[in-house]
Structure 1
Amino acid sequence: MQLFTRVILLAVTVFGVSAVPHLAEDIGLEQVLFRMVLGEAEGRGLTPAAQTCANIYLNTTQKNGDKLANATNACEEAANRTNVAYTQTSNSTINQIRQQLLTLEQNLQLCRNETDSAVFLNCTVSTFDKNLQLLDTSNSQAYRAQSQFVSNATQVNAEKSNCISSAVSEAKVQSIQAANDFNSCLDKIAAQREVPQQMEQQQVKPSQAPKEQVPPMPQLMFEDLPLSN
C-alpha cells in the first residue's frame, strides 16, 4: 500500500499548493485527485477492506472540495457587496458634484442673459464668490472621489485575497488530515491481519510426544519354577 499512499500524499500537496481564486472556473483539482487515487486503486486491485478506506477518503475529499468552493464563493460575494456599498457612497458624492456644477451653470447663465451692462456687472459681482466656491468645492470632491475609487478597489482586492487564502489553507489542512486518516485505516487493516497469523503460528508448535512406557515384567512365583532333580 506504500505506493498508493504516496500517490495520495502527492495529490494532497498539489491540491494545497495549487488551489487559487476562481477555483470553480478551473478543471477542479479535487476531480484530478479522485482520478489519481481511483486509477492507482484499480491498478493495484485493492482488497475490499482497503477499498472501503479509499471510498471513505474520496468521500471526505469531495466534501472538502465542496467546502472550499463554497468558501471561495462566499469571499467573492462579500467582495461584491463591499463594491456595491462603495459604489453607492461614491455615486452620492458624484451626484452632489453634479448638482453643484448645475447651480454654477445656472448662475452663469443668469448673468449672461442680462443685456444691460450695469445689471450684468452687478450680477457677475454678486455671484462671483459663490461661483468660485462651488467650483472649488466640486473640484476638491472630484479629486477625493477619484482617489477613493482606487483605494476602495485596492482594499476590496486585499480582503478577497486574504479570505480566499484562508479558505485554501483550511482546505489544505483538511486534505492532509484525510490522507492521515486513510493511512490509519490501512494500518488498522494490516494490524488485524497480523493477529490471526500470530495465533496460527502459536497453534502450530509441535507437541511433546509422551514417553513410551515399558510394561513391567511379570514376577515369577517360586511355585511356578520347575523343580530340579
Structure 2
Amino acid sequence: MQLFTQTLILAVALVSVSAVPNFGADLSLFRMVMGEVESRVLTPAAQTCANTYLNATQKNGDKLANATNLCEEAANRTTVANSQQSNATVSLIRTQLLTLEKNLELCRNETDSARFLNCTTATFDKNLQLLDTSNSQAYQTQTLFVANSTQVAAARTNCISAAVSEAKVAAIQSANDYDNCVAKIPAQRDIPHEQIKPVQEQIVQEPVQMEPIQEEHIPHQQPII
C-alpha cells in the first residue's frame, strides 16, 4: 500500500511540474504507471480508493482536453476573422492599383503631345491619391497582420495555461482525496470491540389472566315474626 501511494504521488508530481507542450506526454506516463499499479492485488477498500482516484483523474484529463480544444478553436476563429479582414483590404488595394495602371496606360498610348499632356495633368492628382492611399493601406494592413498574429498566439497561450493550471489543482485535490481515503482504511478495518453491542433479546411477557370474581354466597335469612 505504501508503494502504491508513493507511485501515485510521483505521478501527480510529474503532471504538476509539466509545461504546456509536455503535459500530454506526462499524462501518458502517468497512465502507464497507473496501469502497472492496477496489476497489484489490493484489498477491496484500497481498490475502491484507487478506482475513485482513477475516475477523478480520467475526468480531469478529459476536462483538460476539452478546454485546450476550445482554446485552439477560439484561436482559429480569430485567425480566420483577421485573415478575412486583411484580405478585404488587400482586395481594395489591388482594385486601386488596377485603376492607377489603367490611367497610366491610357495616357501612355497617346501619340499626340498635346493630348498626352492633357491626359497626364487631368489624371495626375487622382493617380497620386490612389498611389498614396494604397501605400498607406498596405503598411497598415501589414502592421495589423503582425499584431493580430501576436495577439492570437498570446491569447492561445494564456487560455491553455489557465486550463493546465486548473487541471494541476484538480490533480492535487484528487491525490489528497485518495490519501485521505487510504488513511481511513485502518480505522474502518479495526473497529473497537467495545463499539460492537450485542443485540439484546426482547422478553415477551404473557398477559396475566384475571380470575373471575366469585360472588359470596349469602345465606337466606328467615323473617322474624
Q: How far apart in 2 are the matches of 1:58 and 1:32?
A: 14
1:186 deviates by 0.9
- Please tell me the residue identity of whatever aligns with 1:15: V
Q: Retained in 2: the 8 A contact 1:30–1:62? A: no
How big is each residue's C-alpha offset from its partner over 1:74-113, in whole Å with a ceiling of 9 and x where there is no partner?
A: 1000000000000011011101100110110011011111
Task: Select the structure that is richer in helix.
Answer: 1
What TM-score, normalized to structure 1?
0.80
2:76 aligns with 80
Q: How does 1:122-161 map to 2 (within 5 A)?
A: 122-161=118-157
How big is each residue's C-alpha offset from its partner over 1:133-188, in whole Å with a ceiling of 9 and x where there is no partner?
A: 11111111111111111101100000000000000000001111111111111122
1:20 aligns with 20
1:57 aligns with 53
RMSD of aligned Cα (Å): 2.0
1:100 aligns with 96
Structure 1: where are the runs of 5+ without partners? 203-229
- Please tell me the residue identity of whatever aligns with 1:9: I
2:183 aligns with 187
- Please tell me the residue identity of whatever aligns with 1:86: N
1:174 aligns with 170
- Please tell me the residue identity of whatever aligns with 1:32: L
SS of 2:39 mapped into structure 1: helix
2:201 aligns with none
1:199 aligns with 193
| Number of residue-to-residue matches in the alignment | 196
SS of 2:20 mapped into structure 1: coil
Q: How does 1:204-215 map to 2 (within 5 A)?
A: none
2:210 aligns with none
Q: How far apart in 1 are the matches of 2:146 and 2:73?
A: 20
1:5 deviates by 1.6
How big is each residue's C-alpha offset from its partner over 1:169-228, in whole Å with a ceiling of 9 and x where there is no partner?
A: 000011111111111111221211232xx327x9xxxxxxxxxxxxxxxxxxxxxxxxxx
Q: How far apart in 1 are the matches of 2:123 and 2:153?
A: 45
Q: Which moved more, 1:6-15 or 1:124-133?
A: 6-15
Q: Retained in 2: the 8 A contact 1:79–1:156? A: yes
1:2 deviates by 2.9
SS of 2:184 mapped into structure 1: helix
What TM-score, normalized to structure 2?
0.81
User: Which among 120, 123, 138 is matched to residue 116 of structure 2?
Assistant: 120
- Please tell me the residue identity of whatever aligns with 2:6: R
Q: Retained in 2: the 8 A contact 1:34–1:58? A: no
1:21 deviates by 4.2
2:9 aligns with 9
Structure 2 residue 32 is matched with structure 1 residue 35: yes
Q: Retained in 2: the 8 A contact 1:30–1:61? A: no
Q: How far apart in 2 are the matches of 1:135 and 1:193?
A: 87
- Please tell me the residue identity of whatever aligns with 2:75: A
SS of 1:18 mapped into structure 2: coil
2:67 aligns with 71
Structure 2: where are the runs of 5+ without partners? 197-225
Q: How far apart in 1 are the matches of 2:166 and 2:129?
A: 55
